[in-house]
Copies of this chain bind each other. A is one copy, B any other.
Amino acid sequence: MTGSRNGVLELAVLGSLHENPLHGYELRKRLNTLLGMFRAFSYGSLYPCLKGLLTDGLIVEEEPPDDVVLGRRSKIVYKLTAEGKERLQELLTQAGPSSWEDESFGIHFAFFRHTEAEVRLRILEGRRSRLEERMENVRTALARTRERLDSYTLELQRHGLESVEREVRWLNELINTERAQAADKSQSERDERPGSDE
């Protein structure tokens, strides 16, 4: 039970390797493209994570095509094991603070196509609550502040608040879409005509 890895990183790696086997360098590029606007992973965290996943048997080094046996070992391609896939499913099922914080929400969202509808909804709502809570904190703290702020500080506050409000609106749209899809699905299930109109 070496298993006390980062969680976000673990999901990112297992999720990426689920699509297709990769080596470290390419894995990093993939992730940093996927999340380019939000965050960037560094080798100092990726390689230790890969090492841990190896010793836990969640991934293995993919064998070269067998005829090239000589020492030339430049790329190390990793792929998921059965346990790895199981662990990935487990991670994709969890909806908790670790799925809607700033650093981790993007990753969870990026793998939503492998996530159950109900879990998706809970993560989106959790994220929204998190942002609303943050706005509330800042607002009350601001209200308690006696001295009035200079124009630059005010502008920073305004811009920050507006950005968060925009993300909340974005989340609202996504949540509505998810709800509508869930309603469609349960409706067509009630009609017992599965797959009739889509």
Interface residues of A (CB under 8 A from B): 29, 32-38, 106, 109-113, 134-135, 137-138, 141-142, 145, 150-153, 155-157, 159-161, 163-164, 166-167, 170, 174
* A33-B141 Cα distance, complex, nearest whole Å: 6
Q: Could you list 23 examples of A-B contacts with CB < 8 Å?
A: A33-B138, A33-B141, A33-B142, A33-B145, A34-B153, A34-B156, A35-B160, A36-B137, A36-B141, A36-B160, A37-B135, A37-B161, A38-B160, A106-B160, A109-B152, A110-B153, A113-B150, A113-B151, A113-B153, A155-B174, A159-B170, A163-B163, A166-B166
**CB-contact partner of A164 in B37, B110, B138, under 8 A:** B37
Residues B170 and A134 in contact, CB atoms below 8 Å apart: no
- Complex Cα–Cα for A159 and B112 (A): 15
Partner of A134, one of B36, B112, B135, B159: B36
Q: Report the Cα distance A112→B153, complex, angstroms.
A: 8
Is there an interface contact between A37 and B134, defined as CB atoms closer than 8 Å?
yes
- Known A-B contacts: A33-B142, A36-B134, A36-B141. Give 17 more (CB < 8 A): A29-B141, A33-B138, A33-B145, A34-B153, A36-B138, A36-B160, A37-B135, A37-B138, A106-B160, A109-B156, A110-B153, A113-B150, A113-B151, A113-B152, A155-B174, A159-B170, A166-B166
Please tell me if the beta carbons of A160 and B37 are within 8 angstroms of each other in the complex: yes
